[in-house]
Amino acid sequence: MQIRNRTCGLVALFIVSSTSIAAQDAPMTKPHVIDDSRYTQAQQRIQIEPGRSLNLFCTGSGSPTVIFDAGLGDETSTWGLVQPEISRLTRTCSYDRAGIGFSDPATRPSTSANIVDDLHKLLARADVRGPYVLVGHSYGGLNMLLFASRYPSDVVGMVSVDPANELQATAMRQAFRNYDKDVLAPFIAQHEACIKQAETGFDKESELYRKCIGKTDPSMSSAINAVHDIQHARPAYQKAVTSELKSVRGGASEDQVRAAHRTFGDMPIIVLTRTMGNDANIPLGPNETKESRDTLRRNWIDMHEELASRSTRGQNRNIANTGHYIQLDQPGAVITAIKDVLRQASSDIDLDGHLSAPVRIPRRSIR
């Protein structure tokens, strides 16, 4: 779910990277509108284990296959301005994580390790073979980093869109002395209230509905917004978002990614970082000060630089005139980054981004 409530302060963005209750800065440009009707229905529901299926949306043909993972609580539609363009070049696949969109509820905590395990099973069951170029936004960036660390022989490139990082919780605790109690706990309490209300039914005129579901998303068509409103009011969605948030509170996801830490040789990696000057438009949130915000800004940039440094062909690109959702505010920057990684992953993609011949990277099936 793209962030709709944009007035809660920058600190919320660093806590969860995206959620209906947390906030980001408003788009710097008039929003592009995603109106593809395919996002109003499931595309391909793949059973990854008995009684549990995930929604998979694949388009295009060719190799490497580009795999997209969205931010916390977001659906496949968040890639609606990027995936169609990349699918002109090669095969692309986005998906809804457990409990989100058209996927079945999760049966375990939504940590990065469990998410990566689900994705690995999904690709195997759907016979979506490597090699892969991984694209992750925000929390999805953390998941894709773990996937690349666990399955390095299947991954030939990565694009991280304003990604979360395994040092993010540490950075928050440096900026806020009582981070867990004063900053994160209120967010979790609010989400747990959303779960309880979803179980009994929302009053659309209530303040809690506004906080849990949010306003109409200007980047999505009215038809897509209508579907999202229904999905976001379900207990399964509220539980999934809360579970992902709790994985940040306890540091479980970050601990998992940190334990799998590795460098990536010369694998092309491009990190996209929003220009921090845009954050001046965000009001200070509860328990947030100018000093804590400055600390978070420095840590955010440092974390992205560190990620890019894990490859001899890593880059961190600063993107201006955008909020946290670079793929919605400046989709061209994300498209260009993916094309650049594809070019580096194979000499068979020409300078105009056209696939001139099948990529000759050996295909590896997932086992």
pLDDT exceeds 60 at position 46: yes
Q: Which of the four pLDDT bands, split at 50, 70 and 90, describes residue 137?
A: very high
362 lies in a domain?
Answer: no
> Does pTM top 0.85 for this prediction?
yes
Domain of 78: which CATH number?
A: 3.40.50.1820
Q: Show the domain range for 43.
A: 10-345
What CA–CA distance (Å, rounded) separates 84 from 81?
Answer: 7
325 lies in a domain?
Answer: yes
Q: Average of pLDDT values for 308-316?
A: 97
363 lies in a domain?
Answer: no
What CA–CA distance (Å, rounded) separates 251 from 367?
Answer: 29
Of 56, 54, 73, give the one whose Cα is nearest residue 65.
Answer: 56
pLDDT attached to residue 25 = 46
In angstroms, what is the C-alpha Rg of the chain? 19
pLDDT exceeds 50 at position 203: yes
Q: Six-digit token pair at 276? A: 């921090």
Q: Token match 């001046």: residue? A: 280
58 lies in a domain?
Answer: yes
Contact between residue 72 and residue 18 where contact means Cβ atoms under 8 Å apart: yes
pLDDT exceeds 70 at position 358: no
pLDDT digits (tens, 9 = 90+) for 262-285: 999 999 999 999 986 656 667 776
pLDDT attached to residue 149 = 98
**26 or 44: whose pLDDT is higher?**
44
217 lies in a domain?
Answer: yes
The DSSP code sequence of 314-351 is EEEEEE-S--S-HHHH-HHHHHHHHHHHHHHH-TTB-T
pLDDT exceeds 90 at position 287: no
Q: What is the mean pLDDT of the chain?
A: 86
What CA–CA distance (Å, rounded) separates 299 from 304?
Answer: 9
Beta strands 155-161 and 44-49 are unpaired
365 lies in a domain?
Answer: no
Q: Average of pLDDT values for 184-198?
A: 92
Q: Which residues, in sequence order, are CB contacts of 203 under 8 Å at separation 6+? A: 209
pLDDT exceeds 90 at position 147: yes
Phi and psi at 330, nearest 5°, equal -135, 65
Number of domains in the chain: 1
Q: Average of pLDDT values for 190-213?
A: 94
Neighbour-count burial of 82, counting CB atoms closer than 10 A to its CB (0-12 exposed, 13-18 middle, 19+ buried): buried
* Helix axis angle, 139-150 to 112-125, nearest 10°: 70
pLDDT attached to residue 229 = 96
pLDDT exceeds 80 at position 350: no
pLDDT digits (tens, 9 = 90+) for 105-120: 999 999 999 999 999 9
Secondary structure of residue 298 in the 3-state scheme: helix
351 lies in a domain?
Answer: no
Q: Which of the four pLDDT bands, split at 50, 70 and 90, describes residue 2?
A: very low
360 lies in a domain?
Answer: no
